[in-house]
């Protein structure tokens, strides 16, 4: 730490006084050898202090960033001057940094933040500027969206919101594809934070959204939200399994565990009397202990028949890594698994000539996103693509309604984005 005697200001005058300020300072300071330095004339860029914030949406599991055109970066950036960064803005006179970050976040992103956490305070370019940046981290939910964002048009701001998963952000960080130092610092903070305290997913309430395939809209691709055991009126449920076709324990939190428990015969206290679906799957396997990825095996729905379920299609979509190492999913095979399930259900309908009612609806979960380790954004696009290809190949199929099961807001957002990308469906 320096004392007042270590620095001597000989002269200070303002040489430019516009939106930004420029001061010329003549200064001498004590050197590390103990002697005072000669007087130096230096220019200091004075623009005040600023705030910035990395916003994490707990409901969607995504970070909320902004994109703006910044003229000074035009000739040196690889993005033509358009920079993706954290929300940032200047602190006004008489305003605390915390008050400023709340105001600026609402203006630029539309989210109202509460109790932002300070990550760090640092100088943006200490060799020539006195500006300090107060960098914050804030968690929001969909209920905190109080405005459109986009900045103040009256002040010439033109801001586009950008959302991405933490994994996508960390991949950009790893590949040195981030230009904003505030975002780089915040990304490292988020990476450490999520290692210690992974965000919990908020379960959506039960609901349904339907999209008709263009142009006739007769074929439907839909989204079912919430807990699978609250879904009603879907003929076929798909269960994503490992290549050993071993269902999860009924105390588990997976789709497999829920289907196993929901289909079992139970006493009045909910205790299992007969493990209906798991027993049926073991019987269907016979002497086999392993099946190939993409294999589809049909079983009864057991007690799930009370929900309108007529059958369960188990598909091998994840493979064992090794003893004690769990399972993994390959994003390139997820689409194939979905295609196999749809083709199986369609073909089976064609063979049921003596039964008047055919299976018309099917429910597919976010296959491979649990222990399989895949990002829901990868899976959602593969499933939507498989559904669109199936409808293209079978325009007269009786299986006219395909539903994707979304447990959280992030799952739902990923499916909606994937459906929009295909440009083949329109909201009904």
Neighbours of 314 (CB within 10 A): 26
| DSSP class per residue in 135-165 | EEEEEE-GGGB-S--S--GGGT---EEEEE-
Tens digits of per-residue pLDDT, 161-175? Answer: 999 888 889 989 999
Q: In the prediction, which pLDDT does 68 show?
A: 93
Cβ partners under 8 Å of residue 256, min gap 6: 239, 240, 241, 247, 248
List the structure tokens of 163: 């959302």
- Residues 47-56 pLDDT 10s: 889 999 999 9
Tens of pLDDT, residue by residue over 188-222, are 999 998 887 776 666 888 999 999 999 999 999 99
What are the structural domains of the chain? 4-46 (no CATH), 50-196 (3.90.79.10), 207-427 (3.40.220.10)
Q: What is the pLDDT of residues 79-126, one digit of tens each?
A: 888 999 999 999 999 999 999 999 999 999 999 999 999 999 999 888
Render pLDDT for 242-273 as a digit per residue (tens, 0 to 9): 999 999 999 888 999 999 999 999 999 999 99
| Per-residue pLDDT at 368 | 87
Question: Does 325 have pLDDT greater than 80?
Answer: no
Whether the pLDDT of residue 304 is over 60: the answer is: yes
pTM of the model: 0.62
Binning pLDDT at 50, 70 and 90, where does residue 322 land? low
Q: Is the pLDDT reported for residue 318 higher than 60?
A: yes
Predicted local confidence at residue 324, as pLDDT: 58
Q: Tally Cβ neighbours within 10 Å of residue 242.
A: 23
Q: What pLDDT is attached to residue 19?
A: 77
Q: Beta partners for 90?
A: 50
Would you say residue 356 has pLDDT above 60? no
């Amino acid at each position: 730490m320096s004392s007042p005697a270590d620095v001597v200001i000989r002269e200070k005058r303002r040489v430019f006084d516009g939106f930004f300020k420029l001061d010329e300072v003549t200064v001498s300071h004590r050197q590390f050898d103990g002697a005072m330095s000669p007087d130096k004339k230096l220019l200091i860029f004075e623009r005040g202090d600023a705030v910035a914030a990395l916003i994490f949406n707990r409901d969607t599991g995504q970070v909320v960033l902004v994109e703006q055109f910044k003229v000074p970066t035009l000739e040196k950036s690889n993005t033509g001057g358009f920079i993706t960064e954290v929300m940032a803005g200047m602190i006004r006179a008489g305003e605390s940094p915390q008050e400023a970050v709340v105001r600026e976040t609402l203006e630029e992103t539309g989210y109202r933040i509460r109790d932002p956490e300070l990550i760090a305070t640092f100088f943006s370019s200490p060799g020539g500027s006195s500006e300090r940046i107060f960098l914050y981290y804030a968690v929001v939910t969909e209920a905190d969206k109080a405005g459109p964002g986009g900045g103040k048009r009256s002040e010439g701001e033109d801001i586009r919101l950008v959302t991405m998963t933490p994994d996508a952000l960390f991949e950009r960080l790893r590949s040195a594809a981030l230009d904003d130092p505030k975002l780089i610092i915040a990304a490292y903070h988020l990476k450490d934070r999520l290692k210690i305290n992974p965000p919990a997913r908020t379960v959506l309430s039960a609901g349904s959204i339907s999209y008709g395939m263009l142009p006739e809209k007769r074929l439907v691709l839909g989204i079912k939200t919430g807990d699978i055991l609250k879904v009603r009126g879907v003929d076929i449920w798909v269960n994503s399994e490992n290549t050993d076709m071993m269902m999860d324990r009924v105390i588990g939190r997976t789709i497999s565990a829920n289907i196993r428990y929901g289909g079992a015969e139970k006493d009045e206290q909910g205790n299992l009397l007969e493990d209906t679906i798991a027993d049926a799957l073991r019987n269907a396997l016979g002497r086999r202990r392993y099946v190939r990825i993409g294999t589809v095996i049909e079983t009864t729905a057991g007690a799930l028949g009370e929900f309108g379920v007529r059958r369960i299609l188990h598909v091998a979509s994840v493979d064992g890594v090794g003893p004690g190492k769990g399972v993994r999913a390959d994003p390139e095979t997820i689409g194939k698994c979905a295609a196999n399930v749809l083709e199986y259900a369609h073909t089976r309908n064609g063979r049921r000539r003596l039964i008047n009612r055919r299976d018309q609806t099917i429910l597919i979960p976010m296959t491979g996103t649990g222990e399989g380790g895949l990002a829901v954004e990868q899976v959602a696009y593969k499933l939507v693509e498989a559904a669109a290809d199936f409808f293209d190949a079978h325009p007269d199929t009786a299986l006219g309604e395909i539903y994707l099961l979304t447990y959280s807001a992030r799952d739902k957002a990923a499916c909606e984005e994937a459906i929009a990308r295909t440009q083949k469906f329109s909201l009904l």
